[in-house]
C-alpha cells in the first residue's frame, strides 16, 4: 500500500482505510467515507446535454470539513477531465451552503473564489429540529428520493421493517462519529433495536427502481437499484427521531457515497 494512505487527503476522503489502531470494524479494510452525495436526480439521467446545467448536494462529516478546498478543487479537475462514458466535460459554476432545513443559502464558491462554509449541523440544531417538527407523534413517513439498498441476513431487502432501518442507521452514525468526529456513541444498541421492533409499517408505497452508473475505473455499467418512494411507520417513535433526522444528512444503507439511501421525513 501507499505509505501516505493514512495522511493523504485523497486517501482519507475517497478510500478511507481503517486506522491501524481502530477498536471497531477490525475485520474491515475500509470504513464509511466522510462524505455523502445527495439530491442526485440530475446525475441519474441517461444523458446531460451540452449547455445543460446539473446540480447535486454533498455533505462532509467531521474532520473532512477542513478539506472543503480539496473537494472543490477535485470537482474543478473532474470537470476538466470529464465524467461518464463519453467523458463529458463541465465547468463548476457555484457552490451554495445549506442550512439545517436543507435550504440553500449563500454562495461559498462563485467566480473562482472560495469562502469556507459557516453552516454546521450540531447537537443544538438537531434539538431545535426535533422540537419544531415533532410533538407527541406516533407516525413518521420516510420519503426515499434515491434508491435505498440494504442487506438483512445477507440478502437485499424489499420489505423494510422499521428495526432494519434503525439497525443500519445507528451503526452508520456510530461509525461516522468514531472514525471522523473523534467521538464514541454511548448507546445501548440491543435495547434500542428491540424497541424498534415494536414500530410497525402503517403504509408502504415503495417500489424497486433500477439505476445504472458507468464506472470509469472498471469501464463498465454497474447496477445500483433499490427502493424509492414513501413508507410510513406507526408506534412509539419519539426515541428514534434524532437518529432519523441525522440520517437525512448522512443517508442510510449501501452506496451512500454514490448518492443512494437519501430520504426526507414528514
pLDDT tens across the length of the chain (266 residues):
788 888 899 999 999 999 888 888 888 888 999 999 998 888 777 788 899 999 999 999 999 999 999 999 999 999 999 987 788 899 999 999 988 778 888 899 999 999 988 877 776 677 777 776 666 678 999 999 999 999 898 888 888 999 999 999 999 999 999 999 988 888 899 999 999 999 999 999 999 998 777 666 777 777 778 999 999 999 999 889 889 999 999 999 999 988 999 999 98
Domain range annotation of the chain: 123-265
Q: What is the pLDDT of residue 155?
A: 87
If you write DSSP's letter for every residue of 21-84 in order, what string do you get? T-SSSTT-SB---SEEEE--GGGGSS---TT-----EEEE-GGGGGGHHHHHHHHHHHHHH-BT
Q: How far apart are CA 69 and CA 238, in angstroms?
A: 38
Q: How far apart are CA 194 and CA 119, in angstroms?
A: 35
Give the CA distances from residue 205 to residues 39, 138, 143, 144, in Å, rounded to whole numbers and listed in that order.
20, 19, 9, 10
Q: What is the pLDDT of residue 27?
A: 83
Q: What is the pLDDT of residue 136?
A: 63
Q: What is the pLDDT of residue 113?
A: 93
| Per-position b or e across 141-164, b if 16+ CB within 10 A of its CB | ebbbbbbbbbeeeeeebeebbbbb
* 123-265 topology per CATH: Alpha-Beta Plaits (3.30.70)
- The x, y and z cell numbers of residue 12, run together, are 482519507
Helix (H, G, I), strand (E, B) or coil at 195: helix
Q: How far apart are CA 245 and CA 140, in angstroms?
A: 11
Q: What is the pLDDT of residue 134?
A: 62
Is the CB of residue 206 less than 8 Å from the CB of residue 217?
no
Q: How far apart are CA 73 and CA 59, in angstroms?
A: 16
- The x, y and z cell numbers of residue 200, run together, are 410497525
Give me the residues paired with residue 227 across strands. Answer: 148, 208
Amino acid at each position: 500500500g501507499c505509505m501516505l494512505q493514512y495522511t493523504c487527503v485523497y486517501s482519507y476522503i475517497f478510500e478511507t482505510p481503517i486506522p491501524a489502531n481502530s477498536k471497531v470494524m477490525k475485520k474491515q479494510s475500509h470504513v464509511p467515507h466522510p462524505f455523502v452525495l445527495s439530491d442526485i436526480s440530475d446525475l441519474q439521467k441517461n444523458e446531460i446535454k451540452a449547455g445543460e446545467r446539473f446540480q447535486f448536494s454533498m455533505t462532509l462529516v467531521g474532520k473532512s470539513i477542513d478539506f472543503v478546498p480539496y473537494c472543490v478543487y477535485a470537482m474543478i479537475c473532474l470537470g476538466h477531465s470529464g465524467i461518464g462514458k463519453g467523458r463529458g466535460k463541465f465547468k463548476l459554476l457555484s457552490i451554495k451552503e445549506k442550512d439545517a432545513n436543507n435550504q440553500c443559502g449563500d454562495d461559498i464558491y462563485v467566480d473562482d473564489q472560495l469562502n469556507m462554509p459557516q453552516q454546521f449541523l450540531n447537537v443544538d440544531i438537531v434539538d431545535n429540529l426535533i422540537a419544531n417538527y415533532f410533538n407527541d407523534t406516533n407516525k413518521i413517513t420516510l420519503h426515499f428520493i434515491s434508491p435505498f439498498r440494504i442487506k438483512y441476513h445477507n440478502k437485499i431487502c424489499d420489505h423494510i421493517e422499521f428495526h432494519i432501518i434503525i439497525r443500519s442507521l445507528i451503526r452508520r452514525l456510530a461509525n461516522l462519529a468514531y472514525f471522523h468526529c473523534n467521538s464514541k456513541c454511548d448507546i445501548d444498541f440491543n435495547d434500542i433495536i428491540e424497541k424498534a421492533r415494536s414500530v410497525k409499517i402503517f403504509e408502504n408505497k415503495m417500489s424497486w427502481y433500477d439505476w445504472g452508473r458507468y464506472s470509469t475505473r472498471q469501464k463498465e455499467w454497474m447496477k445500483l437499484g433499490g427502493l424509492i418512494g414513501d413508507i410510513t411507520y406507526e408506534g412509539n417513535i419519539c426515541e428514534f427521531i434524532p437518529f432519523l433526522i441525522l440520517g437525512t444528512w448522512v443517508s442510510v444503507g449501501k452506496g451512500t457515497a454514490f448518492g443512494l439511501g437519501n430520504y426526507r421525513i414528514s
